[in-house]
Chains A and B, each alone.
Chain A
Amino acid sequence: MLSRTAENLYWMSRHIERAENTARVLDVAHRTSLLPLDIEGTEAYLWYAPLNITGCAISYEAKHGLARADAVTHYMALDADNPASIYSCLRLARENARSVRGAITSEMWQVINDTWLELKRLPEEMDHEKFRDFFDWVKDRSHLFRGVTLGTILKDIGLSFIKLGTFLERADNTARILDVKYHILLPSVSDVGGAADYYQWGSLLKSVSAFEAYQRIYRDVISPLRVSELLIFRADMPRSLHACMNEVEAALLEINGFSGQEARRLAGEQHAALHFGRIEDAFGRGLHEYLTDFLKNTALLGREIREAYLSRHDRMLNPK
Chain B
Amino acid sequence: MNTKILEKYFNEMYSDNGAVREIYESYARWLKELPDGTLERRNTEAELLFRRLGITFAVYGETDNVERLIPFDIVPRIFGASEWRRLEMGLKQRVRALNAFLHDIYHDQEIIKAGVISAQQVLDNVLYRPEMQGVDLPNQVYAHIAGIDLVRVAENDFYVLEDNLRTPSGVSYMLENRKTMMRLFPELFAKHTVEPVEHYPQMLLNTLREAAPPNVTYPVIVVMTPGSYNSAYFEHAYLASQMGVELVEGQDLFVHQQKVYMHTTDGPQQVHVIYRRVDDDFIDPRVFLPDSTLGVPGLMDAYCSGNVALANGVGTGVADDKSTYLFVPEMIRFYLGETPLLSNVPTWRLSEPEDLSYVLAHLPELVIKEVQGSGGYGMLVGPTSTKAEIAAYKQRIQAEPAKFIAQPTLALSCCPTLVESGVAPRHVDLRPFVLSGKEVRIVPGGLTRVALNEGSLVVNSSQGGGTKDTWVLED
Contact = CB atoms under 8 A, between A and B. Distances in A.
Given A106-B53, A109-B54, A314-B254, A2 B264 contact: yes
Contacts of B464: none
A4 interface: yes
B264 A317 contact: no
B247 A102 contact: yes
Task: Report the interface size class on chain B.
Answer: 20 to 34
B252 A4 contact: yes
Contacts of A319: 256, 261, 267-270
A255 interface: yes
B267 A258 contact: yes
A3 interface: yes
Contacts of A6: 265
A110 B270 CA distance: 34
B138 to A, nearest CB: 23
B254 A317 contact: yes
A101 B237 contact: yes
A57 B322 CA distance: 60
21 contacts: A2-B246, A2-B263, A3-B264, A4-B263, A6-B265, A102-B241, A106-B53, A110-B52, A161-B265, A257-B265, A310-B265, A311-B263, A312-B251, A316-B267, A317-B254, A317-B256, A318-B256, A319-B256, A319-B261, A319-B267, A319-B268
A99 B228 contact: yes
Q: Which of B241, B247, B263 has the most CB of A within 10 A?
A: B263
Contacts of B237: 101-102
B254 A4 contact: no
B83 to A, nearest CB: 37
Q: Return the 10 tightest CB-CB contacts between A and B, nearest first.
A: A3-B263, A319-B268, A309-B265, A312-B263, A257-B266, A102-B237, A6-B265, A102-B241, A1-B265, A316-B268
A320 B270 CA distance: 10
A157 B264 CA distance: 12
A259 interface: yes
Interface string B87-124: 00000000000000000000000000000000000000
A320 B267 contact: yes
A292 to B, nearest CB: 31
Contacts of B321: none
Interface string B206-249: 00000000000000000000011000000001001100001111
Contacts of B228: 98-99, 101
Given A101-B228, A316-B268, 5 more contacts: A101-B54, A102-B247, A106-B52, A312-B251, A314-B254
Contacts of A101: 54, 228, 237
B434 interface: no
Contacts of A110: 52
Contact of A3 (B240, B256, B265): B265
A267 to B, nearest CB: 16
Contacts of B252: 2-4, 312
A109 B54 CA distance: 10
Contacts of A311: 263
Contacts, number: 70
A258 B266 contact: yes
A318 B259 CA distance: 11
A2 B263 CA distance: 6
Interface string B267-296: 111100000000000000000000000000
B437 to A, nearest CB: 25
A4 B266 contact: no
Contacts of A317: 254, 256, 268
B267 A259 contact: yes
Nearest to A311: B263
Nearest to B270: A319
Contacts of A109: 54
Contacts of B254: 312, 314, 317
Interface string A254-280: 010111000000000000000000000
B440 to A, nearest CB: 29
B262 interface: yes
Contacts of A320: 267-268
Interface in A2-37: 2-4, 6
A14 to B, nearest CB: 16
Contact of A2 (B54, B227, B248, B270): B248
Nearest to A308: B265
A4 B267 contact: no
Nearest to B223: A102
A1 B264 contact: yes
Interface in A86-120: 98-99, 101-102, 106, 109-110
B55 to A, nearest CB: 11
B172 to A, nearest CB: 13
Interface in A283-320: 309-312, 314, 316-320
Given A2-B248, A106-B53, A259 B263 contact: no
A6 B267 CA distance: 13
B195 to A, nearest CB: 29
Contacts of A3: 252, 263-265
A255 B266 CA distance: 9
Interface in B22-54: 52-54
Contacts of A99: 227-228
Contacts of B54: 101, 106, 109
A320 B248 CA distance: 21
A157 B256 contact: no
Nearest to B259: A319
Contact of A4 (B249, B256, B261): B249
Nearest to B227: A99
Nearest to A259: B267
A2 B249 CA distance: 10
B459 to A, nearest CB: 28
Contacts of A318: 256
Q: Which of A161, A258, A316 has the most CB of B within 10 A?
A: A316
Contacts of B267: 257-259, 316, 319-320
A274 to B, nearest CB: 26
Interface string B154-182: 00000000000000000000000000000
Contact of A157 (B227, B240, B265): B265
A320 B256 CA distance: 12
Interface in B291-331: none
A1 B267 CA distance: 10
Contacts of A161: 265
Contacts of A98: 228
Q: Which of A98, A257, A318, A319 has the most CB of B within 10 A?
A: A319
Interface string A231-251: 000000000000000000000
Given A98-B228, A101-B54, A259 B247 contact: no
A262 to B, nearest CB: 14
Nearest to B262: A2
Contacts of B241: 102
Contacts of B262: 2
Nearest to A98: B228
Contacts of A4: 248-249, 251-252, 263
